[in-house]
Chain A
Amino acid sequence: GAGVSQSPSNKVTEKGKDVELRCDPISGHTALYWYRQRLGQGLEFLIYFQGNSAPDKSGLPSDRFSAERTGESVSTLTIQRTQQEDSAVYLCASSFQGGHPGGQETQYFGPGTRLLVL
């Protein structure tokens, strides 16, 4: 596709249920990021995938959060036993490894999944 897509666009769930969020990156992009954005706040880094390297999971807030990515394609973010404080917009971004030497390539963001935990 032309851009990063995420599904579902909105998700309402009950406290204690598990949810799975999906991200389809731009074809050919080797890097993929997940962020969380609470209302009126900036983006909080969750996890980073780069090719076949081990992911950087340092931003995951608890062991209820996990993410997977198969190769350089789709990624899923899973939140187990959801809590009300998990309510937020979850954003995915992808980038093409390359560009300015020693610099950071441009991240392209999806529209996000708005999660509401009741």
Chain B
Amino acid sequence: EDQVTQSPEALRLQEGESSSLNCSYTVSGLRGLFWYRQDPGKGPEFLFTLYSAGEEKEKERLKATLTKKESFLHITAPKPEDSATYLCAVQGYSSASKIIFGSGTRLSIRP
């Protein structure tokens, strides 16, 4: 059964303090791993898609990396506006339509 586990559940950082969020997954043939940002009261906003181990993608202060078992979302010198819940999701070849989401990491950046 495909599964996604995110850690930590919550993370509080000082502005400028870099850190990483973890997404561990099990899937029968990875078709894609996705990172989303979700602000309170809003729908998730797409950040990245990673397809194969070793792949990396960057956007502003965020960088996503992928191995065969996990993905990391690295945040460098975060700002208060980076505060949000970050969701990881996977899609496997066994069930192309079903995308499995983790429960997210709530990130809070203090000024």
Contacts and interface: CB of A to CB of B under 8 A. Distances in A.
Interface string A84-97: 00000001010000
Nearest to B96: A104
A1 interface: no
Contacts, number: 66
Main secondary structure of the interface of B (DSSP, over half): strand
A110 B104 CA distance: 18
Contact of A103 (B6, B32, B44): B32
Interface string A36-68: 000011111100101000001011000000000
A11 B86 CA distance: 26
Interface residues of B, number: 27
B34 interface: yes
Nearest to A47: B97
B51 A103 contact: yes
Interface in A1-50: 4, 33, 35, 40-45, 48, 50
B34 A109 contact: no
| Chain A at the B interface: SS class | loop
A103 B31 contact: yes
A53 to B, nearest CB: 10
Contact of B97 (A41, A56, A109): A56
Interface string B41-76: 111111001010000000000000000000000000
A50 B97 contact: yes
Interface of B: 4, 6, 31-32, 34, 36, 41-46, 49, 51, 87, 89, 91, 95-104
Interface of A: 4, 33, 35, 40-45, 48, 50, 56, 58-59, 91, 93, 100, 102-104, 106-112
Given A33-B99, A42-B4, A102-B31, 8 more contacts: A4-B43, A42-B87, A50-B97, A56-B97, A104-B91, A107-B46, A109-B36, A112-B42
